[in-house]
Structure 1
């Protein structure tokens, strides 16, 4: 089952893999036409009620394959208000071929002339709440007649995110949906046809540009609404926590603080005036610091722990205690990874090991990415956390879902790129589910690395990645 927003991601990923939306619409229209033919006899009166989006576009395609019927096509609204290019092209194709098309300017002009089958293609998976006009009047007319009602993808008025059905929604007799079923459809107690429209399985497996459509930013948001990240790191190393913190800022977090040993705080601060430091006594993390850090972490959306901490016994003991007391989402990187298999925690962890670190945690790996994906999924299920295992193909799994990111290049074996990845993951985990945050971060940082290498060649350093992060996350082709 896929929600409407997930289906949008898959559609866009399919386009990135070479199966464009126009081709998917053509396949969807074929599926709608087949469903109509299963409900109507040749010569029957078939009325299509199409909205101005891609849901309506699917039905407009179907009209071209219904020449054996007494066809009528109603568009709710003006043709120049059709919201997508491909839907508009299909409307234009019907008009040029002189199909019986009509437009409905407002609810008072809507009328159905006793069809045998009516196709509900008014609203698709992106709409929530009660129907407005003219869709409300059209739905009432459909519900009040004896005709068989066929809904396209979901009935108009069904929220494909939650499965909630509006009080004035269309009550279909049959639904034809695409690729996978949607929330709310099983509860309708009507036949639902799930049509294969040619979306490859890879569109759900590989992380592609469609995953970036999950990201949005409320124009009315205030400081802190887009995430606050606490990076716990430093001591033996100073660059690692600075890289993670700067990457978290570039990844969209509003506020990023670095908790680090006091002896290195000034040095870490010197990397950027954008960093907020929260130093603690001593030259390395140790158990006496945990009470303060636990209180501090509780005020943040995401904790990033590990960059530059080192592997001193006292440090790892403190990491284990901090994670066992934390209840939010934590990104665990570098030496801190070694404590994960043995701790009990209510936190949701995103662990970011390379393959050597994965083996150190008790996991297995393989040179073949497909075999490695299976091994990572199995180990993620065993530890009960999300894993982002770095490699030529990054594998992300929570034990149930597994994603693979193919971006990145050999130039990114340089030190510090993993710290950047941890920071971006931390920022995204403020506003995304752990698996999605990790998948988008892997794709983003790899894409950034590819751009840097294309521009400058090998010899990149981790700081080269920072400024490019927003252009990958937020620019839309």
Structure 2
């Protein structure tokens, strides 16, 4: 099954992979036409009730394939307000062919002709909430009609993810949905057919720009809605925690605090005025700091643990104690990664090893990315946590869901880019599930590196990525 939000991302990913929405619409419309043929006899009256979005566009295509029937297409609204170019082109194709097409601009004027089959293509999976006019009037008329009702993708007025409706909704006899079944359709008293419309498996496997759709923000957002992140790092190194913290801010976290040994606190603060630094006594992380860290972590949505902590034995012991006691979301990076396999924890961990660190954790790797994907997936299942294994192809898996990232370039072998990745992952893990967060972070980090290299060539610094993170996340990538 696939949620409506995820389906929209996969749709856009298919376009990024070279399968345009126009081609998918042609396949979708053909699938709807096949469903009509299953229930209609030649010469039967078929009425298509269509909205102004791509759901309506699918039905306009279907109308072209139904010449053996008496087809009437009702457009709810004015043709000039059809929302996408491809839907408008298919409407224009119907009108140019002098098909029976009618615009309904007022619910008071809605009149459903007698029909043997009605196709509901008013609203698709991305629309939720109570139906407005003229859709509400049209849905009521469809329900009163003595006809077989076929819904395109989801009955209008029904939430594709829950099967619930807020007020009137189309009561379909059949549903033609695309690519994969939507969770809410199982709740309906209707026959559901899943049509393969040519979306490649790669659109779900590879993280592409369609996945960035999930990063849109509510205009009514308040401070804290987009995550508060705690970075625990530093001691032997100062740049690493500062890079992670700045990256978390650039990736949209509302507040970022850094807990680091007091010996480096002033230096870390000096990197960026927006950082809030919480000093820990001494020169490196040790067991005596754990209670303080747990208190701090409880006030944050995600923790990034590890950048610049070093490999001292007392620091490793503190890492084990913290991870075993913490029960929130934690991105684990750098030296503490080796402690993860020996820790029992209720925390949701996102581990970000490169391939050498993966082997040190007890995992296996391979040169071929497909073989490496399978190895990472199995190790993640054994580990019980999410892995983001860095490489030319980043592999992200929790043992059940697996994604692959392909952005990035050889210039990113420079030190510090992993710290940036950890910070981006922390920001996203504060508001998204671990696999989604890690997959998006891998894409964004690599894309930021690509933007730098496109402009200046190799020789990039990790700090060069920071200013490019917002563009990689929210910029126009078309």
The TM-score with structure 2 as length reference comes to 0.98
Secondary structure of 1:67's match?
coil
Q: Which sits farther off after the overlay, 59-68 or 160-169?
A: 160-169
Tell me what 2:190 maps to.
Answer: 190
Secondary structure of 1:349's match?
strand
Name the CA distance, whole Å, in 2 between partners of 1:182 and 1:455.
42
1:75-474 paired onto structure 2 within 5 Å:
75-474=75-474
Secondary structure of 1:169's match?
coil
Deviations 1:369-419 (A, max 9, x none): 000000111111111111000011000001111000011111111110000
Deviations 1:126-185 (A, max 9, x none): 111222221111111111122000000011111123332344111111111101001111
The answer on whether the counterparts of 1:165 and 1:184 sit within 8 Å (CA) in structure 2 is no
Q: CA deviation at 1:363?
A: 0.7
Aligned residues: 477
Q: Which sits farther off after the overlay, 123-132 or 64-73?
A: 123-132
Name the CA distance, whole Å, in 1 between partners of 2:259 and 2:54.
49
Name the CA distance, whole Å, in 2 between partners of 1:13 and 1:113.
39
The TM-score with structure 1 as length reference comes to 0.98
Name the CA distance, whole Å, in 2 between partners of 1:179 and 1:221.
33
Give unpaired runs (5+ residues) of structure 2.
none
Deviations 1:302-356 (A, max 9, x none): 1000000011121111112212222221100000111111112121111000001
Tell me what 1:29 maps to.
Answer: 29
Secondary structure of 2:219's match?
coil
The answer on whether the counterparts of 1:33 and 1:62 sit within 8 Å (CA) in structure 2 is yes
The answer on whether the counterparts of 1:26 and 1:61 sit within 8 Å (CA) in structure 2 is yes
Name the CA distance, whole Å, in 2 between partners of 1:223 and 1:167.
34
Give unpaired runs (5+ residues) of structure 1.
none
Q: Return structure 1 stretches of 4+ with deviation > 4 angstroms.
A: none
Secondary structure of 1:419's match?
helix
Name the CA distance, whole Å, in 2 between partners of 1:164 and 1:322.
43
Name the CA distance, whole Å, in 2 between partners of 1:138 and 1:412.
56
The answer on whether the counterparts of 2:163 and 2:186 sit within 8 Å (CA) in structure 1 is no
Secondary structure of 1:32's match?
helix
Q: CA deviation at 1:222?
A: 2.2
Tell me what 1:16 maps to.
Answer: 16
The answer on whether the counterparts of 1:228 and 1:254 sit within 8 Å (CA) in structure 2 is yes
The answer on whether the counterparts of 1:240 and 1:308 sit within 8 Å (CA) in structure 2 is yes
Name the CA distance, whole Å, in 1 between partners of 2:256 and 2:162.
33
Name the CA distance, whole Å, in 2 between partners of 1:418 and 1:454.
20
The answer on whether the counterparts of 1:5 and 1:161 sit within 8 Å (CA) in structure 2 is no
Name the CA distance, whole Å, in 1 between partners of 2:455 and 2:190.
56
Deviations 1:108-141 (A, max 9, x none): 1112222000000011001112222211111111
